[in-house]
Amino acid sequence: MESYVERPPVPELSGMVRTVWIQRTGEAAYVQRHLPTGGAELHLPVGGTPVLAGPLTGPSIEIIPARTTLIGVRFHPGAAPVLPAMLDELVDQRIRLAELWGEADRWSEAVARAATPEQALREVQARLLARYRQSRVDPLIGAAVRALMPWQTINVDALAGRLALSASQLRRRCLQAVGMSPKVLQRTLRFQGFLALAQAGASASGRRGADGTAGLAIDAGYADQAHLSRECLRLTGLTPRQLLGGDLDRCACGHDHAASYGPFLAARPT
């Protein structure tokens, strides 16, 4: 049986890592639809080759082989420690970790030696902590990401002024650190906000008299349900109903994504 267990990172990594997970495939290969989240991901298959999956601008289909155990890490936008590589060079790409980090082979060995996947996940997080102590994260990009969350109404030009940057400077720094422009990131985070509400089974606030999917779309910052549907097709290749399997409280794959969407819901105004 295929299984997927997602959880928050250790507290020391919460400012850089959105979620971590352990995925196991059964006797058959598993078709995984990866969606844009705004952040890069680290995929470490036990006994396999670790890769860094760059930020996505659209859906990506991966066939995970049968009897695979995978340790995963999803970074917040702009927080992946991949310098000297720039994230704009890694968008929609999957790169062997050895091409970015000289110590990647030691990561593979540590994951393979671990007695259990849970121990492997602890080892990966400990190594990430050590790596973050040697890297720099652009603090202005962190502020920009927080301001572009779906519950905010700021436009990109106003954000540049708030950060004492020109619009072109903000765009350049965002492309380097996140891999996409501020506007594209804002659209991606808005969709993640809708998914967070849907996965949590949240009730619409009733703004503008809308409820159900239409109400959640408005709460996440969309003009209406049609706006959401267009963006969902662009980002996932599916309609909202196809993506969510006909239900608004679980995705079609049946996985529990509460740990991943928790940071979005925590930032939502009450």
Give the residues across from 21 on adjacent strands: 6, 72
Could you read off the pLDDT of 82-132 as tens digits, one per residue? 765 678 889 999 999 988 887 888 899 999 999 999 999 999 999 999 888
Could you read off the pLDDT of 142-200 as tens digits, one per residue? 899 999 988 877 888 899 999 999 999 999 999 999 999 999 999 999 999 999 998 88
- Please tell me the pTM assigned to this model: 0.92
The DSSP symbol for 178 reads T
CA dist 159 to 138, 163, 180, 249, Å?
A: 16, 6, 16, 33
Q: Which domains does the chain have, with CATH numbers?
A: 3-132 (2.60.120), 139-266 (1.10.10.60)
| Residue 35 and residue 236 in contact, taking contact as beta carbons nearer than 8 Å | yes
Residues in the chain: 270
How confident is the prediction for the chain on average, in pLDDT? 89
CB atoms within 10 A of CB 145: 22
Give the residues across from 74 on adjacent strands: 19, 41
CA distance 163 to 201: 35
Which two tokens mark 201? 């089974």
- The reported pLDDT for the residue numbered 100 is 85
CA distance 53 to 50: 10
